[in-house]
Structure 1
Amino acid sequence: MLAVQITKFGGLECIVVQESDVPVPGPGEILVKVSAAGVNPVDWKIREGHMKDMLAFAFPTTLGSELAGTVVALGEGVTDLAPGDRVHGSTGALGAFAEFAVIARNAIAKIPDKLDFSEAAALPVGVLTATAAFKAGAVGRDTRLLIHAASGGVGTVAIQLAHALGAEVTALGSASNLDLLRSLGAHHAVDRTTSYETQIGDFDVVLDAFGPEAQARSWGLMRPGGILVSLVAPPDQGQAQAHGVRATMSFGVPESAALENADRLVEQGLLRPILHRTFPIAKAAEAIAEVEAGHVRGKNILLL
């Protein structure tokens, strides 16, 4: 099978598309014929070696953390699926950018009929990341929520999930994306290049998918006792204490329940994936480079 792999840590030149062995599903796993895979910031961070102390690497390593495709084989103990079922899910960090991938049964869900494979591949990481972050921040009805980097792959999903929960959502993004953010359910959409600190505030929860600069501008925007939930960089606990708020990191955990909940929202018309561009597997490096540059609105998708 063809797979998008790295043979060492480094730049885009380390990405190769080459033949690799088809994996075999173990107990509790399934083998999927991958039709589409979502590209995420974690892919270039893994390529550069930022995750080398968190993941077990044996080069060559296949990149990719979310996929959509068709079940072709079942591991021991998997009895509720059948070959031919359309599924999507998250591998956690590695293995999705290949013609075949093994994934845990408890990390996938059946794809709603109204989604094609590209659309289905755009959802798992955003859904799982936002779900975990909302649990950390206790986001619910009437929560005043600020989302940084709201037009990205996680942000576009987070807006819709928060809206479905009944939160009051303020979304920060580029001026050209503000109409999109409103269409997804943001009550307030604000240009991130402005002095927005003078326009907004009094938030219960800040979701940071941007980084330290966004965090530095967020401490004074929260109510006393509010919480900053970071997806990208450990927050400064000293600043949190000085402002009378809390701060934590959050990571998405592959789980079927969160995906199934999101798929119900898809069926109800309350959640839709936002696709930026699709790429053939041969142009995987280009797809990753676009995400690394930060100019993607929604999700880049690899077609396999």
Structure 2
Amino acid sequence: MPRAVRFDKYGGVDVLHVVEVDRPAPGPDQVLVRVKAAGINPGEASIREGAFAERWPATFPSGQGSDLAGVVEEVGSAVKNVAVGDEIIGFTNNRASQAELVVVDADHIVPRPAHVSWEQAGALFVAGTTAYAAVRAVSLKTGDTVVVSGAAGGVGSIAVQLARIAGAKVLGLAGTENHAWLRDHGVIPVAYGDGVAERIRAAAGKKVDAFIDTFGGGYVELALQLGVAPDRIDTIIDFAAAAKYGVKTDANSAAAHAQVLAELAGLIDAGRLEIPIAKAYPLDEVREAYRDLARRHTRGKIVLVP
């Protein structure tokens, strides 16, 4: 029997289990995918902890995960242009990707390009579309200066690269251990902590035009202090500050489409975008993977490999 991540109640990582489940069967417009890699994301941890129980309640036993990449094992009767054996990148909205076999809507998958690794493919959807939406939200144009907080994290590491592709001068807030990686990707690293506003002003050399906050903890206020207009600030995490100051909160849901996924995969395939993989864990080590994620000091993405 195939195995999948499950939890039966809200709580910490200890409520997570890997259990045997019935083999899922695709409907007419779906495909069954044997998963090669599945990314993990902070939002999943928040849902499992019950932080969004009123907004997005879990139905127990609950699965987990949206991101996935794998090989098509079965196709539904109405599915066209997808065949058994196809290598795909995709997503599910059913909290189910952290498993060996997953049913996916056929319009939620795209082909895996040759130069996109399984780990990068499996980690792409949530972080990639979130970064895509955030960069689009702040309306970057050539010559703009943008600051990205959490610039080496799962979303931030993609956002800084997309902002560079858009033609912006990018300042990335990150710990010193990630400064070399940022420089290698054309980003000006800035250490976070006391005095960060002065360091940003010095590195910018002029006004800051836009700010993308992937970390929270006061960065919306910092952006306003730097003179950035509210409609050019996007936070993916600090919803209280967004409500207070009227800044944007565009994230995954604003770009959760297969077309965006295909565009991002094409950039990786062409060597224009990198998805840093911090670590790949076996499915059985899902608890440790989420403990690692909670430390918030990884560069790039953590993935599960069933």
Q: Same fold (TM over 0.5)?
A: yes
Q: Which residue of 2 aligns with 1:55?
A: 56
Cα distance change, pair 185–92 in 1 and its aligned pair in 2 (3 A): farther
> How far off is 1:237 after superposition?
5.3
- Cα distance, 1:82 vs. partner? 1.0
Give the 5 Å matches for 1:103-182. 103-182=104-183
Q: Is the 8 A contact 2:72 2:88 kept in 1?
A: yes
| Rounded Cα–Cα distance in structure 2 between residues aligned with 1:234 and 1:41 | 15
Distance 2:117 2:241 in 1: 41
- 1:19 corresponding residue in structure 2: 20
Whole-angstrom distance in 1 between the partners of 2:229 and 2:56: 37
- C-alpha spacing 1:194/1:239, structure 2 compared with 1 (3 Å): same
1:266 matched residue in structure 2: 268
For 2:297, the aligned partner's letter is: H
Select 2:303's aligned residue among 289, 301, 304.
Answer: 301
Equivalent position of 1:91 in the other structure: 92
Give the structure 1 partner of residue 204 of structure 2.
none
> 1:79 Cα deviation (Å)?
0.6
Query: Is there any run of 5+ residues in structure 1 with no aligned partner, and where?
Result: 241-245
Give the whole-Å Cα distance in 2 for the aligned partners of 1:140 and 1:104: 35
Distance in 2 of aligned mates of 1:11 and 1:238: 28
Q: Secondary structure at the match of 1:84?
A: coil
Q: 1:159 to 1:21 in 2, by over 3 A?
A: same
Find the residue that maps to 1:296 and give its secondary structure.
coil
Q: Bigger CA drift: 3-12 or 51-60?
A: 51-60
Q: Deviations over 1:226-256 (max 9, x none)?
A: 522111121435763xxxxx50212213211
Cα separation, partners in 2 of 1:224 and 1:54, compared to 1, 3 Å: closer
Find 1:212's aligned residue among 206, 217, 231.
217
Residue 243 of structure 1: aligned partner: none
Deviation at 1:142, TM superposition (A): 2.7
Hey, what's the Cα distance between the residues in 2 that align with 1:280 and 1:267? 25
Cα 1:234–1:141 shift into 2, 3 Å: same
Separation of aligned partners in 2, 1:3 and 1:263:
26
User: What is the identity, as a one-letter code, of the residue corresponding to 1:81?
Assistant: V
Q: Which residues in structure 2 correspond to 1:37-48 (within 5 Å)?
A: 37-48=38-49
Distance 1:197 1:262, change over 3 A: same
CA shift at 1:40, angstroms?
1.1
SS in 1 for 2:278: strand
Unaligned runs of 5+ in 2: 202-206
Alignment partners' CA distance in 2, 1:233 and 1:27: 40
Q: Name the structure 1 match of 2:251.
A: 251
User: In the alignment, which residue of structure 2 is the partner of 1:195?
Assistant: 195
Which deviates the most, 255-264 or 134-143?
134-143
Within 2, Cα distance between the matches of 1:57 and 1:238? Answer: 26
Identity %: 30
Cα-to-partner distance string for 1:127-154 (whole Å, 9 max, x where unaligned): 1101222232223333322111111111
Shift of the 237–289 alpha-carbon distance from structure 1 to 2, 3 Å rule, reads closer
Summarize the Cα distance change of 1:204–1:110 in structure 2 as closer, same or farther, 3 Å threshold.
Answer: same
Taking structure 2 as the reference length, the TM-score comes to 0.90
- State the aligned residue count: 298
Shift of 1:263: 1.8
Relative distance call for 1:80 and 1:194 in structure 2 (3 A) is farther
CA positional deviation for 1:295: 2.1
Cα 1:222/1:106, change in 2 over 3 Å: farther
Distance in 2, Cα, partners of 1:93 & 1:292: 23
| Counterpart-to-counterpart distance in 2, 1:149 and 1:21 | 40
Residues 24 and 2 of structure 1, relative CA distance in 2, 3 Å threshold:
same
Is 1:228–2:233 an aligned residue pair?
yes
